Amino acid sequence: MPQRDLVWSEKAIEDLRGLLERRDDRDSVLLCVEGHLLAVADNPAIASTHSGPQAYQLYRFGCRDGETALYLQAVFQDLPDGRLSVMSCNTTAL
């Protein structure tokens, strides 16, 4: 399967900016988030698919900020041109 491009929505960019502002180890958190999102782009089957009028994919994953465990979720939508849009990316409760 060819690698897919990620397209970030404005909301997803704001979510990630807000997440990183609250973190001590921003670089490692950013690398972790990017790695997980690129893994979904390469293999969309690892995300949960939800169908309906606004079909989307939900992917939950964990990262570390020093000693703090972060639980995150990202919401994706397929675009007509084959790219994958990141609609949101933020922390979530367990």
Domain assignment present for 29: yes
Over residues 8-58, the pLDDT tens digits come to 999 999 999 999 999 999 999 999 999 999 999 888 889 999 988 888 999
In a domain, 49, yes or no: no
pLDDT digits (tens, 9 = 90+) for 56-69: 999 999 999 988 99
Query: Quick count: other Cβ atoms within 10 Å of Cβ 77?
Result: 15
Is 20 contained in some domain?
yes
Q: Model-level pTM? A: 0.86
Task: Kindly state whether residue 89 falls inside one of the protein's structural domains.
Answer: no
Contacts of 27 (CB under 8 A, 6+ apart): none
Q: How many domains does the chain have?
A: 1
24 Cβ neighbours under 8 A, 6+ residues apart = 65, 66, 68
Structural domain for 72, as ranges:
6-44+56-84
Residue with tokens 């939950």: 60
Amino acid in position 29: V
With respect to residue 38, please indicate whether it lies within any of the assigned structural domains: yes
